[in-house]
Amino acid sequence: MLEEIMLGKKIWAVVGANQDQEKYGNMIFRKLKSKGYEVYPVNPMYDTVEGDKCYKDLTSLPVVPEVIDMVVSPKRGRAFIDEAARLGIKYIWLQPGTYDAELLKQIEDLGLQQVQACVLVSVR
């Protein structure tokens, strides 16, 4: 199952990570870290998230993540999907509310694989 394959990957980027512990971008970042994942926050609006350096885009990351977790609107997410494809990142995890028909078609057209689920529920 694709969800299990993605969860087996250990290097993730959370696109839309933020400093507000009440928001999903922060909760997802903390949950993945607490479960031993190497996880990088990506958000051009922050310098740090939970004490870790935050990156403005995927290209700025020190390593290429195996999976990106999308916690931004479909409109904001499109550029990150294109960037992921350019970097060779093929696994996209879509949180509820982060995708629409156009974004799903973009992912398919680029030959990427996606899961639509809440990582907070899926990571145990």
The residue ranges of every structural domain in the chain are: 2-122
Query: Sorting pLDDT into bands at 50, 70 and 90, what band is 117?
Result: very high
DSSP-derived secondary structure letter, 55 = B
Q: Residue-wise over 94-122: b if at least 16 C-beta within 10 A, else e?
A: bbeebbeeebbebbeeeebebbebebeee
Indicate the CATH number for domain 2-122: 3.40.50.720
Overall pTM surpassing 0.75 (yes/no): yes
Query: Sorting pLDDT into bands at 50, 70 and 90, what band is 82?
Result: very high
Residue matched to tokens 């999976």: 67
- What would the pLDDT profile of 15-60 be if each residue is shown by its tens digit? 999 999 999 999 999 999 999 999 999 999 999 999 999 999 999 9
Mean pLDDT of 101-107: 98
